[in-house]
A and B are shown apart, each in its own frame.
Chain A
Amino acid sequence: DAGVIQSPRHEVTEMGQEVTLRCKPISGHDYLFWYRQTMMRGLELLIYFNNNVPIDDSGMPEDRFSAKMPNASFSTLKIQPSEPRDSAVYFCASSAQWGGGEKLFFGSGTQLSVL
Chain B
Amino acid sequence: KQEVTQIPAALSVPEGENLVLNCSFTDSAIYNLQWFRQDPGKGLTSLLLIQSSQREQTSGRLNASLDKSSGRSTLYIAASQPGDSATYLCAVRNTGNQFYFGTGTSLTVIP
Contact B34 A103 (CB under 8 A): yes
Closest to B102 in A: A42
Contact B52 A104 (CB under 8 A): no
When distances are taken between beta carbons in the complex, the residues of chain A under 8 Å from B32 are 100-101
Of the 9-residue stretches B17-25, B38-46, B73-81, which lies at the interface with chain A?
B38-46
Instruction: Check B43–A91 contact: CB distance below 8 A.
Output: yes
A34: CB under 8 A from chain B? no
CB neighbors of A among B27-76 (8 A): 31-32, 34, 36, 41-46, 49, 51-52
Which residues of the other chain, B, contact A48 by a CB distance below 8 angstroms?
98
**Range for the number of chain B residues in contact with chain A:** 20 to 34
Instruction: Provide the bound-state CA to CA distance between A108 and B44, in Å.
Output: 8
- CB 8 Å contact bits of A69-111 with B (1 = contact, 0 = none): 0000000000000000000000101000010110111111101
Q: Report yes or no: A45 in contact with B98, Cβ–Cβ below 8 A.
A: yes
Give the total number of A-B pairs whose CB atoms are below 8 A apart.
Answer: 45
Give the interface size bracket for A toward B. 20 to 34
State the majority secondary structure of interface residues on B. Answer: strand
- Report A26-68 residues with CB < 8 Å from chain B CB: 31, 33, 42-43, 45, 48, 50, 55-56
Contact at A45–B99, with CB atoms within 8 Å?
Answer: yes
Residues in A neighbouring B99, C-beta threshold 8 A? 33, 45, 104
Query: B93 to nearest A CB, angstroms?
Result: 8
Chain B residues in 8 Å Cβ range of A98: 97
Known contacts A45-B98, A100-B93, A104-B99; can you find 13 more A-B pairs with CB under 8 A? Answer: A33-B99, A42-B101, A48-B98, A100-B31, A100-B51, A100-B52, A101-B49, A101-B51, A103-B34, A103-B46, A104-B93, A105-B46, A111-B41
